[in-house]
Structure 1
Amino acid sequence: MSRPVRPGRPGRPVPRTYWVAGTAVLLALLFAAAATVAAANGGGGSTGSGTPSRTEPRTPGLRSPDAGFARDMAVHHQQAVEMSFIVRDRTQDEAVRTLAYDIANTQANQRGMLLGWLDLWGLPKVVADEPPMSWMGASGGHGGHGAHEAGAGSGALMPGMATREELDRLGAASGRDAEVLFLQLMTDHHKGGVAMAEGCAQQCETPVEKALAQGMVDAQRSELTLMADMLKQRGAAPRG
């Protein structure tokens, strides 16, 4: 049986791992769009007389896991989008450029939804005195590989994020060197993102946000497998 061909790119077979990852990304985007509509409608419906039903979720508080995850993951996603745009201009490799496009497209959309929920809840997008990952409790202080002062959004420590020096290195690299560094940095980034999303899936109370977080976990795990394969094809490996 022939391998599937990516639409718009005739004659270019797509590795099965990439096809699975791309499907996961598409499903995450479709779910996220539905989740936003549900959140905008209150997530619970009404009794028919205009009175909210008893199943309608209450608005999350300022320090809730729901609000904390939305703020932190919005910052985390912002860097993934930045890295994806950087590598797009540093390589002509179709597989890496397509992966970068999918990550940027998915995470930019999800970031918009997270910030939109904060607006719907009447909550700020940045809380000056909020420690990084404080919504995760004791586990929030463990940033993982590459955690640093991000310099974006809240400027807080985030798990898996690249340092400014690493971003500068990515911007200065080209060809295979840029591909390998991007895949390594994004692998670290996804591992941190999965840990954060798992925290929300367990602790958040807003149903659509919990479900979106679980969708992030599933899609990013699939991409982690894909990136490990892509690194192996380039004679490299994840950093740790």
Structure 2
Amino acid sequence: MISDLTSPDAGTAPGEGPAPNRSRFGYAAVALLLAGIVLGAAIGLLVPRFRTPGTDSVEAGFLRDMSTHHAQAVEMAMIAHAGSDTPGIVTLAADIATTQQAQIGYMQSWLRDWGLDPTGRDQPMAWMPDAAGSVVNGLMPGMATPEQLASLRKATGRDLDVQFLTLMRAHHLGGIHMAQEAEKLSDNKDVDWLAGSMVAAQQGEIQLIDDLLEQVRAS
């Protein structure tokens, strides 16, 4: 969980001063002390804002884009879970759907905690330097086209299995690329942790997908 930052103690009011005939040095010292108290209070209020990712940050852009990316993976997984007769694929689809839906929950919750719009107004992948060309027809890396999704919804049997595994493999490769870049660019430990978890999980699932594809094609 993201820890809350608390404001530093603004200090206590200075005690009784010296006799009325203070030197100019004494007045300057008091003025500096008061200025320090005011500055300390101001920093206490502002530091959380400095450390909380802004709407144009890498972290916000990644969480918004990956929420959209994950939502498509959940949709494809649910189609396969409902339509496949292959136990291994049914299990994989359930794992993908539950894991990525939970991660969407993390990401949307963090955006709300930061006081940010969950969708934003930037173009997809705007948070990643040199991302030109990675978005094709509005789709982020690895995402299935509307035509591919329509075909997956209509597919049955072996055809459904092959389409799902092929699309999900490409989807995972695109997601891994995005997560690796986010982990490299982000300064937020929670985002780094989540991005690293995504990379590890999806790399493992790609190996499983390859094994299942080999089995399905051989059947």
Q: TM-score, normalised by structure 1?
A: 0.71
Which residue of 1 is the match for residue 155 of structure 2? 173
Give the total of aligned pairs: 185
* 1:71–1:126 contact (8 Å) kept in structure 2: yes
How far residue 48 of structure 1 moved from its aligned partner, in angstroms, is 9.6
Deviates more, 1:134-143 or 1:172-181: 134-143
CA distance in 1 between counterparts of 2:6 and 2:104 reads 28
Structure 1 segments unaligned to the other structure (5+ residues): 1-37, 150-156
Are positions 1:190 and 2:172 aligned together? yes
Distance in 1 between residues matched to 2:167 and 2:6, nearest whole Å? 46
Report the equivalent of 2:90: 97
Task: Name the CA distance, whole Å, in 2 between partners of 1:168 and 1:72.
Answer: 22
After TM superposition, give the deviation of residue 49 of structure 1 in Å: 6.6
Change in 2 beyond 3 A, CA 1:220/1:207: same
1:52-95 superposed Cα distances (whole Å, 9 cap, x missing partner)? 7xx97711011110000000000000000000111122212111
Mapped pair 1:222 → 2:204? yes
Amino acid of the structure 2 residue aligned with 1:136? M
| CA distance, structure 2, for counterparts of residue 148 and residue 217 of structure 1 | 25
- What residue in structure 2 maps to residue 62 of structure 1? 55
2:191 to 209, 213, 216: 209
Retained in 2: the 8 A contact 1:132–1:140?
no
**SS where residue 131 of structure 2 aligns?**
helix
Match of 2:24 in 1: none
3-state DSSP of counterpart to 1:190: helix
Equivalents in 2 of 1:131, 1:197: separation in Å?
Answer: 17
Instruction: Give the number of the structure whose residues are more often helix, by fraction.
Output: 2
Partners in 2 of 1:58 and 1:48 — Cα distance? Answer: 15
C-alpha deviations, 1:131-176, integer Å up to 9, x for none? 2101001135424xxx543xxxxxxx31110011111111111111
Identity %: 42
RMSD of aligned alpha carbons:
2.4
Shift in CA distance, 90/211, structure 1 to aligned 2, threshold 3 Å: same
Runs of 4+ in 1 over 2 A off after TM superposition: 45-52
Q: Give the equivalent residue in structure 1 for 2:64.
A: 71
Which residue in 2 is equivalent to 1:107? Answer: 100
Three-state SS of the structure 1 residue aligned to 2:51 is coil
**Correspondence 1:90-169 to 2 at 5 A:** 90-128=83-121, 130-139=122-131, 141-143=133-135, 147-149=136-138, 157-169=139-151
Unaligned runs of 5+ in 2: 11-40
- CA contact under 8 A between 1:148 and 1:162: conserved in structure 2? no
In the alignment, the residues of structure 2 paired with residue 121 and residue 127 of structure 1 have an alpha-carbon distance, to the nearest angstrom, of: 13
Structure (1 or 2) with the larger CA radius of gyration: 2
| SS of residue paired to 1:138 | coil
> What is the alpha-carbon distance in structure 1 between the residues aligned to residue 68 and residue 112 of structure 2?
16
Look up the equivalent residue of 1:124 and give its one-letter code: D
Give the letter for the 1:94 counterpart: P
Structure 2 CA distance for partners of 1:160 and 1:101, relative to 1, 3 Å: same
